[in-house]
Amino acid sequence: MDVRVLIVDDSMTGRKMMKRALPPSLAVDVTEAGSGEEALRICTTQPVDLMFLDLTMPGMTGFDVLEALQQQVARPVVIVVSGDVQAPAQQRVKELGASAFIHKPATAPVIEEALKRTRFL
């Protein structure tokens, strides 16, 4: 069965790069969202197993999405992918329930390691 993946980034290029960096050994069904609001709509209308979430987006930020996900019964495993490498941001996403934090641009080996830590590989 495929892992249902949601890639959330306001940059189309960022979403495409993330999609290409997913390990070929992971059978995935990928959906993309260009905003936090769109990501939450998708999470309420279809099952999502794993979310790659950008933090810095206009409107609803990645932090806002993490907060909103805490209210949902069935929520995906979230791996935050961000250029904000400051320790307070990393600490806050962990407090909000993110399973891993990886730096942009995410490379295939880094993604693979995060997937192993979250038991998707």
Write the pLDDT tens digit of every residue in 25-37.
888 999 999 999 9
> Over the stretch 62-119, which tens digit does the pLDDT of each residue have?
999 999 999 988 899 999 999 888 899 999 999 999 999 999 989 999 999 999 999 9
pLDDT mean over 9-34: 94
Instruction: Give the other-Cβ count within 10 Å of 1's Cβ.
Output: 6
CA atoms within 13 A on the CB side of 116: 7
* pTM of the predicted model as reported, rounded to 2 decimal places: 0.96
How far is 20 from 109, CA to CA, in rounded Å? 12
Indicate which CATH number applies to the domain containing 113. 3.40.50.2300
Secondary structure (3-state) at 36: helix
Percent pLDDT > 90 in the chain is 86
ω into 23 cis (within 30 of 0) = no
Domain region containing 87: 3-117
Q: What is the pLDDT of residue 85?
A: 81
How far is 118 from 121, CA to CA, in rounded Å? 8
Quote the number of domains for the chain: 1
